[in-house]
Each structure stands twice: as C-alpha cells, then as structure tokens.
C-alpha cells in the first residue's frame, strides 16, 4: 500500500486569548512589588495613569505625581529620613579625608571596595578610582554614590546636598560633571529629562532640537504632536526619527545592575486572628491603588485636536481604565484564594507546620469555583505573613500521606490512623530528631516510623528516609558518630 499526501478539512474549538487576557494572566502572577514596578513602567508611557497618591504615600511609598523633593526610604520602611541615609555613607566620606597618603592609596581602596560591593555601586566606585584624581572630588563622588536611587538617579537638589554634607556648590558641580560621564550613561541624572540628555550626549546625538524635545516631555506625554513639533522648531512629519531615538534610550540606567542593598521581602497577604478564627487580608502597604486621570482626559478631549491625537489619547485612557479594573480583579481573586486557603488551614495558623492539613490546588479551586490554573497563578511567588513567621502561599499546599496500607485503618499502636500532609510529617520528623538524646537515644528511621505510628501517622520507612534527606538530617549512624566525636572533643 502506497501512502500519498491528501487534503483534509477538520473543525476544532480552541480558546483564543487577546492581549488584554494575556496581560490579566500576567498581572495575577506578579507579586505586589513586581506589580508596582510594572505600573511604574506603564505610567511612563500612559499620561492618564497614576497611583492613588494618598493611599500610596500612607503606605510608605512615593509617587511620580508628588511635588517637591522625593522622600527617602530605606529597606522599604517609612520614617527614615535623609539624615539616616547620609549617616550610612558618612564613614566612606570621612575615610577619604582622614586616610592621608598619596592618591594611589585611594585608588587601591576604591578598587577593593568595588570588588566587595559589586553591582552598580561597585561599578561606579571602580570608575571613581580610575577617572577622578582630585581627593575632594573623589570623596564627594563616593558620598553621592550612596544617594543614588534604584533607577540610578540623584534626586536631591544641589542646595539640599550642599547643606547636608557641608560641601561647596562649586565642588558639587565639578563632581557631578565628572560622575555624569560615567557608565551606564544617564547615571547621576537629576530627573528623566536629564537622564535622557546624558545618554544622548554619550552617544553623540545631542542637539538643541533634542533638548527642546526633552524640555517638553509633558507635551509628548499628552500626545500633542503638533505642539511638540512647534516647540522643537521642526515640521510634524519630521518628528518620527526624534521619537524613535528617544524610545531607544533607557529611562532606568541602573535597572540592569543588582543593587548592593538588600530589600526586605514584603508579604502579599497577612493572616490575623479574629473572633471567627484566622482571617486573610491583603497587605495594603505594598498593594498599589491605581487612578485613571479622567479629568485630564475630559480637558484634553474638549480641546480642538486632530483625530490622530484624539485616537492616541482615547487609546491611552481606555488602557488606563482596563489596567485599573484588572488590578482590582487581581486583588479580589488573590483575596478569595487566600481566604479559602486560610479557611482550610486554621490548625496550621494556630499550631504550625505539624498541623498543616493536606491540600491541593483542586481543593481550593472547587471551594471558590475557579480553575486550578487561576489558583496556581494566584499563589505563585506570593508571601503570607503569619504568627509563626513568613511563608510562601505555595508552601501551604501539601500532598496527603499516612494511613496507606494501615490494616483496618489502625496504626501500629492500635489507635486510629489519620491522613496528614507531607509538610506535617516533615515537621514531626524534625521535632523528633531535635529532641533525641544525642548520646543514648539517636533515633533510627525505623524508630521514627514507630513514633509517628503512635501519633496515628502510618508511613513507610522509605518515606521517612526521603523526608529526612529533604530536611538535610543525617542518618542515625552519622548522627551517632558525630555525637561521639563531639563528646570526645568535650573530654
């Protein structure tokens, strides 16, 4: 029989996702911190999107809409002022002046510091050691490195810097002139326009026309291309090359570097005890609240503008409205999932991992009538703060073990067996080993199986051995040998 190609028609059904559905799924997978970063990037492109300033400021954050100098926070906590930040790098500044010796000593010290710190700070310190010969300027450059924010900007004004550090304005200007030529291009910028200017200059593309564009970024944000072209002194059809160049620049020059400071992980969900037991709440301190600037849209729509400009603004305001709705839906879904988990794990929140109940994604999906994939995305990477510490929401899911192969449903001790979670068995094993007498009562895997059976948990010896290995607990022979060695060392 000879096979030959042929055409065949078939009809199938499949789910097609539009871009908004894809973005909604992506939002659900983000943690609160990642969501804030994503929204900041969206706000740079959408003039009708903003944070709810009152909500976000009360939570210890600042917004792009805030006027005046940006408040400084360290490790995500509020109430830490500029003086605390300066004090953190005061030692560096003092070392430069007190050190004495030749300039080569400073270079060597900075090279060592750069190697130790790594990240953006280390990269800049390396350049200071190579490029700046003047001791006072080098000292101030090291000081200012500690003032950079996560984007690589120096947000504080000249007067504030001079007054806080006690340095002359001329020295500050000379220092900035040198450090703003460092890589990555745009570092030590004072604002977005300044950052883009530095990158244009580094690439040899800066012209007065580009400067006029940077001076009118607010006009660009509103989508008023006619006004922008007029401000730049060019024809409207000559704008695209300029805009393409600007889009190719990096508004966050420090983003590619791992910061030297460690940010404390903020929980996405907080569990508190109330009259009705344990309840889950979203962490509003890290959960952003989105605003759509409807009044700005109404004012712009009432103006006499071209159809192209109107369509541009309409698309942005619709995108902002959808993003606000999507973030609200994300929060509602996360809360439903978290409360369903907490409702099933009341014993865990009261007594810890040893009381963790078996629970799978399907259990929660059935409780709240959602798909398992939605539950999976809702818990992915999310942290929950409990009275027993901070856990990943994923950690509260555990397979059921115990009672398999138990004759008549009874354990080795004759008591009723029970099904428990794998995490609970691990917690029991860890507690038993921690409580054993190291010299006379080291527990073998068989002994652990027997003790678990007395608690009504019937598991196989190989299961105990697997969990013991996962907990990085040595075998009984190794523990007994280590105990003897330690006893001999104590004499």
Instruction: Please give the chain's pLDDT, 491 residues, in tens.
Output: 566 777 777 776 655 556 666 777 888 888 888 888 888 888 888 888 887 755 554 444 544 444 332 322 223 333 333 233 323 333 334 344 423 344 445 566 666 666 656 678 888 888 888 888 887 888 888 888 888 888 889 888 888 888 877 888 888 889 899 898 888 899 999 999 999 999 999 888 889 999 999 998 888 877 788 888 888 888 888 888 888 888 888 888 888 775 434 344 688 999 999 888 999 999 888 888 888 888 888 888 888 888 888 888 888 889 899 999 999 999 999 999 999 999 999 988 988 888 888 888 999 999 999 998 889 989 988 999 988 888 888 888 888 776 444 433 434 444 456 677 787 888 888 888 888 875 457 888 888 888 888 887 888 888 888 888 888 888 887 777 666 555 544 53
User: What is the rounded CA–CA span in Å between residue 458 and residue 454?
Assistant: 9
424 falls within a domain: yes
Residue ending a domain, choose from 185, 214, 247: 247
In 3-state terms, what secondary structure has residue 17? Answer: coil
Residue ending a domain, choose from 247, 282, 314: 247
In 3-state terms, what secondary structure has residue 385? Answer: strand
Model pLDDT, residue 69: 29
Nearest alpha-carbon partner for 326 in 82, 35, 2: 35
34 falls within a domain: no
Model pLDDT, residue 80: 30
181 falls within a domain: yes
Helix (H) or strand (E) holding 401: strand 400-401
User: What is the rounded CA–CA span in Å between residue 234 and residue 293?
Assistant: 30
User: What is the rounded CA–CA span in Å between residue 151 and residue 194?
Assistant: 13
Enumerate residues 6+ apart whose C-beta is below 8 A from 92. 142, 143, 146
Helices (H), 397-444: 422-435
Determine the straight-line distance between the first and last CA of the chain, rounded to whole angstroms: 87
Q: How many domains does the chain have?
A: 2
Q: Which domain holds residue 161?
A: 82-247
337 falls within a domain: no
Pairing relationship of beta strands 383-386 and 269-274 according to DSSP bridges: parallel
316 falls within a domain: no
129 falls within a domain: yes
Tokens of 217: 């970024």
Report the Cα 16 to chain-centroid distance in Å: 30
User: What is the rounded CA–CA span in Å between residue 65 and residue 51?
Assistant: 8
Residue ending a domain, choose from 200, 229, 247: 247
481 falls within a domain: yes
Model pLDDT, residue 55: 53
89 falls within a domain: yes
User: What is the rounded CA–CA span in Å between residue 184 and residue 127?
Assistant: 11
**What is the number of other CB atoms lying within 10 angstroms of the CB of residue 334?**
22
């Amino acid at each position: 029989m000879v096979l030959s190609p042929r055409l065949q028609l078939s009809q199938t059904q499949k789910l097609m996702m539009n871009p908004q559905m894809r973005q909604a799924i992506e939002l659900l997978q983000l943690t609160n911190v990642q969501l804030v970063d994503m929204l900041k990037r969206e706000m740079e492109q959408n003039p009708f999107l903003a944070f709810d300033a009152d909500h976000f400021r009360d939570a210890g954050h600042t917004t792009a809409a805030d006027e005046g100098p940006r408040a400084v926070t360290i490790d995500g906590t509020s109430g830490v002022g500029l003086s605390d930040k300066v004090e953190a790098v005061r030692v560096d500044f003092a070392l430069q002046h007190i050190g004495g010796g030749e300039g080569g000593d400073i270079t060597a010290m900075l090279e060592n510091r750069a190697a130790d710190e790594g990240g953006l700070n280390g990269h800049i310190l390396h350049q200071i050691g190579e490029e700046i010969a003047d001791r006072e300027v080098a000292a101030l450059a090291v000081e200012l490195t500690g003032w950079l924010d996560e984007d690589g900007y120096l947000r504080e004004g000249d007067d504030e810097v001079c007054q806080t550090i006690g340095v002359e304005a001329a020295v500050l200007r000379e220092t900035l002139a040198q450090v703003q030529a460092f890589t990555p291009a745009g570092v030590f910028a004072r604002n977005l326009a300044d950052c883009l200017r530095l990158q244009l200059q580094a690439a040899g593309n800066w012209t007065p026309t580009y400067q006029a564009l940077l001076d009118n970024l607010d006009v660009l944000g509103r989508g008023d291309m006619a006004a922008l072209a007029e401000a730049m002194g060019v024809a409207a059809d000559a704008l695209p090359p300029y805009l393409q160049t600007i889009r190719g620049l990096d508004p966050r020059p420090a983003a590619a570097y791992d910061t030297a400071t460690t940010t404390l992980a903020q929980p996405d969900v907080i569990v508190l005890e109330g009259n009705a037991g344990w309840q889950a709440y979203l962490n509003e301190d890290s959960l952003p609240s989105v605003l759509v600037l409807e009044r700005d849209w109404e004012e712009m729509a009432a103006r006499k503008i071209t159809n192209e400009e109107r369509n541009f603004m309409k698309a942005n305001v619709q995108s902002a409205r959808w993003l606000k709705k999507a973030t609200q839906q994300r929060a509602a879904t996360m809360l439903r999932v978290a409360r369903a988990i907490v409702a099933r794990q009341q014993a865990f929140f009261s007594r810890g991992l040893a009381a963790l109940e078996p629970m799978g994604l399907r259990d929660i999906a059935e409780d709240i009538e959602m798909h398992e994939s939605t539950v999976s995305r809702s818990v992915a990477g999310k942290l929950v703060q409990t009275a027993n510490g901070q856990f990943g929401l994923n950690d509260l899911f555990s397979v059921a073990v115990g009672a398999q192969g138990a004759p008549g449903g009874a354990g080795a001790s004759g008591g009723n067996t029970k099904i428990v979670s794998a995490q609970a068995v691990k917690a029991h094993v860890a507690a038993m080993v921690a409580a054993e007498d190291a010299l006379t009562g080291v527990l073998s895997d068989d002994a652990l199986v027997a003790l678990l059976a007395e608690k009504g948990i019937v598991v196989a010896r190989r299961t105990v051995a697997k969990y013991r290995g996962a907990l990085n607990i040595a075998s009984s022979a190794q523990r007994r040998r280590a105990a003897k060695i330690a006893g001999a060392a104590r004499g």
